[in-house]
Chains A and B, each alone.
Chain A
Amino acid sequence: MSIIQIKNVDLYYDKHHALKNITGEIKERSITALIGPSGCGKSTFLRTLNRMNDMIQGVHIEGEVLVAEQNIYHEDVNVENLRKNIGMVFQQPNPFPKSIYDNIAFGTRIHGMRDRKELDEVVEQSLKAAALWEEVKDILKKPAYGLSGGQQQRLCIARALAVNPQILLMDEPTSALDPISTAKIEELIGELRKQYTIVIVTHNMQQAARISDETAFFLQGEVIEFDTTEKIFHTPSDQRTEDYIAGRFG
């Protein structure tokens, strides 16, 4: 079943036409990989799914994005609530300059949870879900900036999980990390797919092939091909997809 439907989405940064007539579906509890050369609009597309583009001045969007059948660009959509349900992890780990505990509790607190016991529980569960608990359980009060890059990224994943989203958007979450941290996060993503729908941008073809169920290939603001990862990587229908995957450009 598809949880997100994208219908004829066009996006402009002022005059610059960055997304061109994008249509597609994202299946529930699956991993969708977005691939394509730099500047083709992957991050832009990802941000249309939780309306993070709203923060950028001069952005203009046409078309519809339906999440659970509701158009998220309808004027009376509660954007904060939408973003709570659609978590996002960024390319550079961006923990807040606060303690590990306060980082995880941040989202739950702003959504109204005050009870210390409940917060403790959320923090523990989220860190466990992000496979970070064992490493940080004794230093929860320490600043998050003391963690390694890989740990910080898992902290950011835990932070996103803490507000109990259904969908997780990840923009090149491992591109700033070493191979071991990358492997850990890939393993974690594999675990998360059981409960969450994940959309992940990656420049790493092996990563896309390894972890995703579906793959969308972007080129210059267009989706060239959007199909099962199996098909995209083995029998692509478009020559350009084949060329890109074979490393002939980009």
Chain B
Amino acid sequence: MNEAVLKNARNRLAGSQSQKEISGIVQKKRMNREDLIVKSILFLCAMVSVLTTIGIVAVLLVETLSFFKDVSLLSFLTDTKWTPLFKPEHFGILSLLSGSVLITLGASLVALPLGLMTAIYLSEYADDRVRRVIKPILEVLAGIPTIVYGYFALTFVTPLFRMIFPDMGVFNALSASIVVGIMILPMVASLSEDAMVSVPKSLRNGAYALGATRLEVARKVVVPAAFSGIISSFVLAISRAIGETMIVTIAAGATPKLTMNPLESVQTMTSYIVQVSLGDIQHGSIEYKTIFAVGMTLFVLTFLINLIAQWLKRRFKEEY
């Protein structure tokens, strides 16, 4: 203790303070072992997800290729029946694809316009107090497990529609797609709103100062400027609708069918995969391989949607 005080005093006496500061500006590089370790660990973490992705795609690819050794690509794409589990076997993906497209289309018709309008309301019309209530509600809504939505579709929405369409089946595309739409709605609303809120105020003021109404500001300034973020929210939502499994398995039925009639029971690609995965299908059999072919189709579809979105974003980009 005493020694430290002494040392301090000596230092001060020697006037080394200013000298030390100047000489301290440039120091030798420390052996940064800590940095190296942290960097390696983080790198490994990043590699886990990269490798997993590569692994998934590889398995998908291998099994899909082996599927197409047994079934021709042409009949896969053009056959209108999908009956891999019983004779005579048909492998026409169109029947499952139409189910997925029907559900996704219906869900998008519900969620995209409603979500966009909710976002416009929240970012351009609602005052802070309203926004502070609604935003968290949206987030809670987005966190509800999809099985709950599934039962909501089956036990509430379907009976409601059956009062209007008495001969509609218990399992039908209509209620499933509407409920999938409700499920992805908060995502569209919340992400689109984030994109709109980040449009600078100065742009809005510029438009208001020219005599624009709120609606004109929203439609002609804010939405175009936030276009890229809005499209991203759409794509994410659509991808979730295509990939949605639980709601459609519970409420849409299990009848692969090439139809665009929402009152009928359909089967989506995802619920087919569930059905087969739950059954006792022999590993390596053709039935087993179908789920990889279907999975691959899902993968390609989502990929295509992303490509279209990229193109849209580039085409209509407004940078600020």
Chain A positions within 8 Å of B, measured between CB atoms, are 50, 52, 55, 57, 80-84, 87-88, 90, 92, 94-98, 106-107, 110-111, 143, 145, 156, 159-160, 163
Contacts and interface: CB of A to CB of B under 8 A. Distances in A.
Given A80-B213, A90-B202, A110-B216, A97 B208 contact: no
Interface string B279-319: 00000000000000000000000000000000000000011
A30 to B, nearest CB: 21
Nearest first, the 4 closest Cβ-Cβ pairs linking A and B are A84-B211, A97-B318, A107-B210, A88-B209
A127 to B, nearest CB: 16
A94 B225 CA distance: 13
Contact of A160 (B208, B210, B224, B319): B210
B205 A52 contact: yes
Contacts of B59: none
Contacts of B182: none
B128 interface: yes
Interface of B: 127-128, 200, 202-213, 216, 220-221, 224-225, 318-320
A87 B210 CA distance: 6
Given A98-B224, A106-B220, A110-B216, A84 B210 contact: yes
A107 B203 contact: no
Contact of A163 (B200, B210, B225): B210
A161 to B, nearest CB: 11
A242 to B, nearest CB: 35
Nearest to A145: B319
A83 B128 contact: no
Contacts of A95: 206
Contacts of B211: 80-84, 107, 110-111, 163
B297 to A, nearest CB: 38
A90 B318 CA distance: 21
Contact of B209 (A83, A111, A143): A83
Contacts of B209: 50, 52, 83, 87-88, 90, 160
A26 B320 CA distance: 36
A153 to B, nearest CB: 12
A143 to B, nearest CB: 8
Contact of B205 (A57, A94, A97, A107): A94
Contacts of A143: 319
A90 B205 contact: yes
A156 B210 contact: no
A132 to B, nearest CB: 16
Contacts of B224: 97-98
Contacts of B128: 57
A145 B206 CA distance: 15
Contacts of B203: 94, 96-97
B186 to A, nearest CB: 25
Nearest to A79: B211
A87 B203 CA distance: 15
A110 B318 contact: no
Given A106-B207, A110-B210, A110-B212, 8 more contacts: A83-B209, A94-B206, A96-B225, A97-B224, A97-B318, A110-B211, A156-B206, A160-B210
A50 B224 CA distance: 26
A111 to B, nearest CB: 7
Nearest to A98: B318
Contacts of A90: 202, 205-206, 209
Nearest to A156: B206
A80 B216 CA distance: 11
Nearest to B221: A96
Contacts of B208: 52, 55, 83
B205 A55 contact: yes
19 contacts: A52-B208, A55-B204, A55-B205, A57-B127, A80-B212, A82-B211, A83-B208, A88-B209, A92-B202, A94-B205, A95-B206, A96-B206, A97-B319, A98-B318, A106-B207, A106-B220, A107-B212, A143-B319, A160-B210
Nearest to A143: B319
A145 B127 CA distance: 31
A107 B207 CA distance: 8
A29 B117 CA distance: 44
A92 B206 CA distance: 11
Contacts of B320: 97, 145
Q: Which of B204, B212, B213 has the most CB of A within 10 A?
A: B212
Contacts of A106: 207, 210, 220
Contacts of A88: 205, 209
Contacts of B204: 55
Contacts of B212: 80, 107, 110
A94 B202 CA distance: 6
Q: Which of B200, B206, B211 has the most CB of A within 10 A?
A: B211
B187 to A, nearest CB: 25
